[in-house]
């Protein structure tokens, strides 16, 4: 005796079982399939009509599963179920890194509001997905986090790393704090790296004609292009020891920044920030190129000055005097 169907939830479960069952058999009579699945033939026929509206994203005729209803409803039909255009449902599911991350993020969101029993099931699925993602990709694992901002940034990181792995250019819309504006640029991605819990895209920037680090939280859009990268392939920078390795010749410099120049702390890597009165700050940073620091201080003037070392302060004063001399 067959059990009556209980609702949409049970119907979805039957459909997920039905397609692989039919695919493994070269034609099954409606009555035989109904008996094997534990439903009435009339209910199975209704399920098959629902199956006609299922398929791949797009919804075009070639995307949908095809069921030969004439063989089942026509008085002269042979009553045999024939399903076509559903081969993908018989294959093991394989997710791209981006798809796997999206599923992980969705599961974590579901877990936050689920009961203890559901959380146990979700945790098992998460463990399998995260283990599979870690084995299937050489890219660094980035925790998707628990809120929407973390999730969006994790998906962006996966997409950018995938573009780097495939050697495809990316068009970025990037916020530049120093100009308080967004800029559009095309880059050759090298990989996603992390320093002090902040994720960056290491890439060759065609606008700057130099390698650059782009903070992921300042990328408002990223479009992966069909064009291959044109710069020389280079491995992404290792920032595990910071932006400058211990053996670097970078010079420690301390700056006094007025409130109008505090944006430097957010835009450039710094070692330490000490808040002062009236919103000012004293900042320690490592400088690998003195010319870069001089140009930065000229842009910040009169809202920044060198506290130490004295040699850098003297270099900046000389550069400022030379610059003023150009206007005389």
227-258 pLDDT, tens digit each? 999 998 888 887 766 665 554 567 889 999 99
pLDDT for 115 beyond 70? no
Q: What percent of the chain has pLDDT over 90?
A: 16
Range of the domain at 70: 8-90
pTM: 0.42
For residue 78, tell me if it sits in a domain: yes
The pLDDT value recorded for residue 144 is: 45
Instruction: Tally the domains of the chain.
Output: 3
Which own/partner contact pairs does 203-207 have at CB distance under 8 Å and 24+ positions apart?
203/164, 203/170, 204/229, 204/231, 204/234, 207/183
Of 43, 124, 23, 131, the residue nearest 83 (C-alpha): 23
Give the whole-angstrom CA distance, residue 20 versus residue 219.
43
- Specify the higher pLDDT residue, 94 or 192: 192
Could you report the per-residue pLDDT of 146-186, keeping only the tens digit for each?
444 455 677 788 889 889 999 999 999 998 765 667 889 99
Give the whole-angstrom CA distance, residue 196 versus residue 199.
8
| Residue 143 shares a structural domain with residue 102 | yes
Identify the band that residue 86 occupies on the pLDDT scale cut at 50, 70 and 90.
Answer: low
Give the whole-angstrom CA distance, residue 133 versus residue 143.
12
Q: What is the dihedral of CA 132, 133, 137, 139, to 10 degrees?
A: -150
| Residue 171 shares a structural domain with residue 65 | no
| Residue 16 shares a structural domain with residue 51 | yes
Taking the CB of residue 288, how many other CB atoms lie within 10 A of it?
12
Domain limit, last residue, from 40, 60, 90: 90
Range of weakest confidence among 13-17, 30-34, 139-143, 296-300? 139-143
The pLDDT value recorded for residue 49 is: 84
For residue 237, tell me if it sits in a domain: no
Phi, psi for 215 (deg, rounded to 5): -65, 130
Identify the band that residue 50 occupies on the pLDDT scale cut at 50, 70 and 90.
Answer: confident
Q: What interhelical angle do 41-51 and 8-23 show, nearest 10?
A: 80
| Residue 153 shares a structural domain with residue 53 | no
The pair of structure tokens assigned to 83 is 């399903």
Give the whole-angstrom CA distance, residue 113 versus residue 124.
16
Give the whole-angstrom CA distance, residue 293 versus residue 219.
25
Average pLDDT over residues 214-236: 90
């Amino acid at each position: 005796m067959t059990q009556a169907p209980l609702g949409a939830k049970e119907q979805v479960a039957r459909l997920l079982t039905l397609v692989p069952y039919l695919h493994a058999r070269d034609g099954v009579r409606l009555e035989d399939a109904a008996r094997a699945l534990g439903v009435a033939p009339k209910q199975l026929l209704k399920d098959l009509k629902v199956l006609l509206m299922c398929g791949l994203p797009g919804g075009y005729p070639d995307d949908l599963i095809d069921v030969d209803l004439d063989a089942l409803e026509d008085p002269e039909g042979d009553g045999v179920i024939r399903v076509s255009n559903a081969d993908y449902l018989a294959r093991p599911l394989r997710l791209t890194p981006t798809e796997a991350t999206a599923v992980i993020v969705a599961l974590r969101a579901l877990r936050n509001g689920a009961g203890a029993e559901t959380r146990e099931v979700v945790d098992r699925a998460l463990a399998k997905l995260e283990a599979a993602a870690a084995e299937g990709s050489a890219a660094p694992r980035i925790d998707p986090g628990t809120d929407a901002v973390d999730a969006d940034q994790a998906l962006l990181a996966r997409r950018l790393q995938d573009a780097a792995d495939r050697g495809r250019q990316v068009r970025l819309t990037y916020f530049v704090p120093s100009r308080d504006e967004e800029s559009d640029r095309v880059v050759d991605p090298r990989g996603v790296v992390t320093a002090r819990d902040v994720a960056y895209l290491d890439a060759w920037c065609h606008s700057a004609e130099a390698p650059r680090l782009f903070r992921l939280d300042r990328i408002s859009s990223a479009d992966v292009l069909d064009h291959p990268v044109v710069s020389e392939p280079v491995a992404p920078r290792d920032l595990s020891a910071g932006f400058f390795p211990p053996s670097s010749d970078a010079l420690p410099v301390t700056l006094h920044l007025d409130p109008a120049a505090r944006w430097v702390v957010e835009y450039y890597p710094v070692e330490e920030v000490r808040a002062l009165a009236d919103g000012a700050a004293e900042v320690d940073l490592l400088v690998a190129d003195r010319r870069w620091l001089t140009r930065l201080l000229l842009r910040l003037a009169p809202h920044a000055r060198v506290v130490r070392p004295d040699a850098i302060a003297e270099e900046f004063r000389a550069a400022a005097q030379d610059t003023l001399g150009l206007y005389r």
